[in-house]
Amino acid sequence: MLWGLLAASIPVIIHLLNRRRHKTVKWAAMQFLLKATRESRGKKRLRHILILICRTLGIAALVAAASLPLVGGFFGMGAGKPDLVVLVLDRSASMEAKPENSGLSRRALAIQRIRDAVADLSGTRLVLIDSASGAPQEVPTPEVLGELSSTAATDSAADLPDLLTTAANFLAETPGRAELWVASDLQLSNWLPEDDRWTRARASLESLPQPPRVRVLAVSGESAGNQSLRILSSRRNGDRLELELEIARNGPALSPLGVPVTTTLNGARSTDSVTVTGQQLRFLKTLPTPETDESGFGWISIPGDGNPRDNVAYFAYGPALPVTSGVVAQPGEAADYLSLAAAPDGFGGQTSERIGPDALSGKIVDETAALFWAAPLPAGPIAERLEQFVRDGGQLLVFPPDTDADTEFLGITWSEIQNAPSEQFFILDSWDRADGLLRDGIDGTPVPADRLRAVKRRIPQGDASILARWDDTEPFMVRQVIGKGTAWFIGSLPDYSWSNLGDADVLLPLAQRAVVAGAVRFDSGYLTRVGASDSLPAPNETRERFDSYADASTAQADHIAGVYRLGDRVRAVNRPASEDLAGQIETPAVSPLFEGLSFSLFEDTSSSARDNISRSVWRAFLIAMLFFLLAEALLCLPKAMPRIESPTAGAQPSTPR
């Protein structure tokens, strides 16, 4: 590049050489030449200088356009060569998405760009910190960057604040003029711009003796058409395995999309098709699992598309466990309704057990999917036990007691009992149809919660998310998520002296959803995500991959989804759900994350490996070159010369006298 820019001085050199290598002529009409030279100073000289500048800039622009990367948007103009480049490479599953009209993933394109850019900085040391391992690794030459196992595709997520802290720590031990390069798709769930750790990472970088220049290569742009598949929950219910699946698609959902879904269960494959009409489709897939099967595994897959990493979801299961619910309530109508809703007769082997508040043992807590609490709010050891139950993944549904009590549980208290005015009801007015126990069914059928009428109610008071409100905007149902489970506070009793909640329309789906969600914890032990502690083998455990969906390479097994045997355990390891989220951090929001540091962001929206991160710049340089050459041509246009008296042809006739 520098050699190239020297070419820009060629017009000046030619000009100077021309002046030195002038021809000498004997001249007679010197008086006119002297006069012309005196008068041409100024405007003419300026014009000549402008011509020279245009030529120089034209060549400089041509050189700049030809030597793409160094003057590209990634490098900026006039950047010096660093001694060290620390590359933070996002290897998350979302980086495997292919840009539109491209055969390469964003990760591969980013590696290509970085490789070319580092190659131009010949002699600069390159250290890689990949998002999967998070460990600094020396890269001997940029050419091998794409061949390293630590730059290969993974099913993991990326934690950018943590990676930048790692980079800062590494740079603290490696003094010198360094640059920190980040190659990522700016996925919001990886960058977490609101995370407090950014402050720490930024402070660590700023406090270095020589704060590095930060360059972010955002491989964003339009993605190729893609559908992602994931398992929301898995539950073995008797001789069936119930998988709640979600297929989401990117881009506008202009028309229904038929997606063939292939199920591989214990080696047997079957395919059926589902139609995705909107952006996403949630559906329940039931697989037959003979009760004689103690355990098994499999995977659900959809055809290859814009991102090959999100087309499969793995599952595993163990022996069927009975689903038990507990009802803590004074005998009466409410207790009956709750017991019935928790375990309808002949439904999936569910059972319910009535428990006195004081009889809540550890065993019950450990084996119960959901607890229906229609008693004064617990306190003391009971409250602690219930909180632990929720934390472990249990579902706790708390109904208002019939008697006044001023106890508080999980920061929630009940208000006084409120009675509806005579011949009037409290009516459920609004509820969250996308989330919570009153959400619409998988097929979109709403729960008829608007039929709920109450004459008595108690308002749950305290900090919690409100999921349903009465018509006077007071909350009917609030939720507190604690650990893996949820505590629900519901503002009326399934008792006709309180409300018609006991009708099956509302109470049954509400109770069953809580039971199913609570039961998941007994089956979800087989499901885990890449990067979770239970997806990794313990020191004394060996790892073996069961599934044959992809190559069973063990080099990066920590970061690859699949069904694994880890010692005596079987785990279906899937990519984190956050990797399927389409949200990206807006580019203006990236700059504040590096406030105080020398920072530049280059958005690479190209789709070809042959392009490089300077493509948008070389076009500008080419246009600039054309502009300069055009300006030079205009400046060089000869002006109309004064007419010369009889330049060559014969003598002027004699002037008349």
DSSP 151-177: GS--S----HHHHHHHHHHHHHHS-SS
Nearer to other proteins, 434 or 641 (CB): 641
Q: At closest approach, how far in Å is the CB of 41 from other proteins?
A: 9
Give the residue, chosen from 13, 37, 279, 626, that forms a contact with other proteins under the rule CB under 8 A. 37
Q: At closest approach, how far in Å is the CB of 648 from other proteins?
A: 5
Nearest CA to 310 out of 122, 3, 95 is that of 95
Regarding 12 and contact with other proteins (CB under 8 A), the answer is no
Regarding 33 and contact with other proteins (CB under 8 A), the answer is yes
Binding segment (CB under 8 A) for other proteins, from list 27-35, 188-196, 250-258, 366-374: 27-35
Give the residue, chosen from 254, 268, 434, 644, that forms a contact with other proteins under the rule CB under 8 A. 644
Contact mark string toward other proteins, 361..400, x via CB under 8 A: ----------------------------------------
Q: At closest approach, how far in Å is the CB of 39 from other proteins?
A: 4
Regarding 3 and contact with other proteins (CB under 8 A), the answer is no
End-to-end CA distance of the chain: 72
Binding segment (CB under 8 A) for other proteins, from list 52-60, 398-406, 480-488, 648-656: 648-656
Site residues (CB under 8 A) for other proteins, limited to 40-99 = 40, 44-45, 48
Nearest CA to 576 out of 561, 587, 591 is that of 561
The CA-based angle 592-595-598, given to 5 degrees, is 120
Regarding 637 and contact with other proteins (CB under 8 A), the answer is no
Nearer to other proteins, 55 or 513 (CB): 55
> For the CA atoms of 322, 328, 331, 332, what is the dihedral angle to 10 degrees?
-90
What is the token pair recorded at 482? 């604690």
Regarding 540 and contact with other proteins (CB under 8 A), the answer is no
* CB-based burial, 549-579: b 16+ in 10 Å, e otherwise: beeeeeebbbbbbbbbbbeeebbbbbbbebb
Provide CB contacts within 8 A for 66, sequence distance 6+.
Answer: 4, 618
Nearer to other proteins, 48 or 81 (CB): 48
Regarding 10 and contact with other proteins (CB under 8 A), the answer is no
Nearer to other proteins, 37 or 149 (CB): 37
Q: How far apart are CA 122 and CA 570, in angstroms?
A: 48
Nearer to other proteins, 540 or 652 (CB): 652
Contact mark string toward other proteins, 559..578, x via CB under 8 A: --------------------
Q: How far apart are CA 155 and CA 574, in angstroms?
A: 7
Q: At closest approach, how far in Å is the CB of 635 from other proteins?
A: 11
Q: At closest approach, how far in Å is the CB of 62 from other proteins?
A: 24
Q: At closest approach, how far in Å is the CB of 36 from other proteins?
A: 4
Nearer to other proteins, 292 or 652 (CB): 652
Contact mark string toward other proteins, 182..201, x via CB under 8 A: --------------------
> For the CA atoms of 169, 172, 178, 179, what is the dihedral angle to 10 degrees?
30
The CA-based angle 106-109-112, given to 5 degrees, is 150
Q: Is-contact 398 485, C-beta < 8 A? A: no
Regarding 39 and contact with other proteins (CB under 8 A), the answer is yes
Q: Is-contact 107 154, C-beta < 8 A? A: no
Q: At closest approach, how far in Å is the CB of 584 from other proteins?
A: 57
Please name the helix (run of DSSP H) or strand (run of DSSP E) that holds residue 245, with its range, or none.
Answer: strand 240-249
Q: At closest approach, how far in Å is the CB of 49 from other proteins?
A: 11
User: What is the three-class DSSP state of 259?
Assistant: strand
Q: At closest approach, how far in Å is the CB of 643 from other proteins?
A: 7
Binding segment (CB under 8 A) for other proteins, from list 36-44, 77-85, 220-228, 607-615: 36-44
The DSSP code for 4 is H
What is the token pair recorded at 655? 């002037």
Nearer to other proteins, 42 or 539 (CB): 42
Q: At closest approach, how far in Å is the CB of 48 from other proteins?
A: 6
Question: What is the β-pairing status of strands 413-414 and 460-461?
Answer: antiparallel
Nearer to other proteins, 39 or 384 (CB): 39
What is the token pair recorded at 52? 């020279």
Regarding 2 and contact with other proteins (CB under 8 A), the answer is no
Regarding 273 and contact with other proteins (CB under 8 A), the answer is no
Q: At closest approach, how far in Å is the CB of 632 from other proteins?
A: 13
Binding segment (CB under 8 A) for other proteins, from list 194-202, 245-253, 424-432, 634-642: 634-642
What is the token pair recorded at 149? 């196992």
Nearest CA to 311 out of 227, 213, 211, 253 is that of 227
Q: Is-contact 160 193, C-beta < 8 A? A: no
Sheet of 312-317: strands edge to edge? Answer: 268-276, 257-265, 296-301, 312-317
Q: Is-contact 314 561, C-beta < 8 A? A: yes
Nearer to other proteins, 32 or 347 (CB): 32
CA distances from 477 to 124, 446, 447 (A): 61, 17, 14
- # chain residues binding other proteins, by CB under 8 A: 40
Q: How far apart are CA 112 and CA 117, in angstroms?
A: 9
Site residues (CB under 8 A) for other proteins, limited to 477-516 = none
Q: At closest approach, how far in Å is the CB of 14 from other proteins?
A: 11
Nearer to other proteins, 28 or 434 (CB): 28
HSE-CB of 528 using CA atoms within 13 angstroms = 22
Binding segment (CB under 8 A) for other proteins, from list 78-86, 301-309, 452-460, 635-643: 635-643
Binding segment (CB under 8 A) for other proteins, from list 26-34, 180-188, 315-323, 475-483: 26-34
Q: At closest approach, how far in Å is the CB of 59 from other proteins?
A: 20
Q: Residues interacting with other proteins, by CB under 8 A?
A: 18-19, 22-37, 39-40, 44-45, 48, 639, 641-655, 657
